[in-house]
Amino acid sequence: MFLLQKFISNILISPGIFIILLIMIFMMSFRKKSSMKANFLLMVTIMGIYLLSIEPVKDMVVKPLEKNYLPITRVQLDKVDCYVVLGGGIYDNSPKSLSSATGSPSKTALFRVIEGVRLYKEYPKKIIITGGIVYNGEKSEGSVYKELMVDLGVPESDIIIEGRSRTTEENAVLTKKIMSENGYKDAVIITSATHMKRSKYIFEKYGVEVIPAPTGYVSRYKESYGMDSYFPDASNFVDIRSAMWEYIGLIFYKIKN
């Protein structure tokens, strides 16, 4: 199920869908009777790539995921038992300065790790780091994040690693087990703003009382857009892909359950 979900999601999410369309256009180009259909598909592909690379469309897709989750407040921090930092990928075996260790958090995960450290320094509490080996890496995500947190001043004694999960659902199941073993009932869930809706939904399904601590917002909350907002930008493409991954993940989870 895990690999099937990953495969289908990557096919449906851009640029996967556009690669499929371009292959279809290429195959049609060898058939004279299909030239009209090929031209139509080419136009749809070009328009799709353009729309998914401009800021207004990015915001339209991303905002429904982010808008209901504001940054956490100091009052909320005082009421919870622990922090939970969700995994978001690593660059396996990448070199690390001033250390013989290898591996570094992905760009997405870096926001989450830094937010976890920042909140810890405001209100020190135990940090549960989730994330195992998703494919065939040598180190778990959790172990890589822990190295950075320790480098940034968090004591090892305050970090608990959950190093087996590969999905958000597994994050929730295994984190709930750790929380129960330590007598924790509620947790600050630290993850990307686009990922928070799905994370909160799944964690609460498994009985964790969630206080959201979203980070890494990508929507630009402004009333109007300038001309530059309509120029194609690859970062918009990436942000839309991340958002679509969340929508598909929610659908998969609801179908499964």
Bridge partners for 90 per DSSP? 105
Mind listing the pLDDT tens digit for each residue in 103-116? Answer: 899 999 999 999 99
**DSSP character string of 183-228:** T--EEEEEEEHHHHHHHHHHHHHTT-EEEEEEE-------S---GG
Helix (H, G, I), strand (E, B) or coil at 72: coil
Q: Inform me whether the pLDDT recorded for 2 exceeds 60.
A: no
Q: What was the pLDDT predicted at 223? A: 72
C-alpha closest to that of 205 among 253, 255, 142: 253
Which is more confident, 98 or 214?
A: 214
Residue 100 pLDDT > 90:
no
* Whether the predicted pLDDT of 233 surpasses 80: yes
Cα separation of the two ends of the chain: 13
The whole-number average pLDDT for the span 106-132 is 97
Is the pTM of the predicted complex or chain greater than 0.85? yes
- Report the pLDDT averaged over residues 179-200: 97
Residue pair 189/213 in contact (Cβ under 8 Å)? The answer is: yes
Helix-, strand-, coil-residue percentages of the chain, each rounded to 5: 55, 15, 30
CB 248 within 8 A of CB 12: yes
User: Would you tell me how many other CB atoms lie within 10 Å of the CB of residue 40?
Assistant: 12
More confident residue, 217 or 4: 217
Mean pLDDT over residues 25-44, rounded? 75
Q: pLDDT digits over 156-181, tens only?
A: 999 999 999 999 999 999 999 999 99
Where in the chain does DSSP place strands (E)?
82-85, 90-95, 102-105, 126-130, 159-162, 186-192, 209-215
d(CA 239, CA 50): 14
**Residue 136: pLDDT above 80?**
no
**pLDDT at 34 exceeding the cut of 90:** no
pLDDT confidence of residue 182: 97
Please give the distance of CA 52 from its chain centroid, rounded to a whole number: 18
Q: Is the pLDDT of residue 58 over 90?
A: yes
Domain edges within the chain: 2-66+233-256, 74-215
Q: What is the mean pLDDT of the chain?
A: 89
Question: Is the model's pLDDT at 10 over the cut of 70?
Answer: no
Question: Do strands 102-105 and 90-95 pair parallel, antiparallel, or not at all (unpaired)?
Answer: antiparallel
Looking at the predicted structure, is the pLDDT value of residue 252 above 90?
no
Q: Which residues contact 216 (CB under 8 A, 6 or more apart)?
A: 108, 111, 112, 115, 192, 193, 194
What's the pLDDT at 126? 98
Confidence of residue 207 (pLDDT cuts 50, 70, 90): very high
Q: Indicate the class that CATH gives domain 74-215.
A: alpha beta
pLDDT the model gives residue 253: 87
What are φ and ψ of residue 59, in 5° steps?
Answer: -65, -40
Please state, in angstroms and rounded to a whole number, the distance separating the CA atoms of residues 125 and 116.
10
pLDDT band at 81 (very low <50, low <70, confident <90, very high): very high
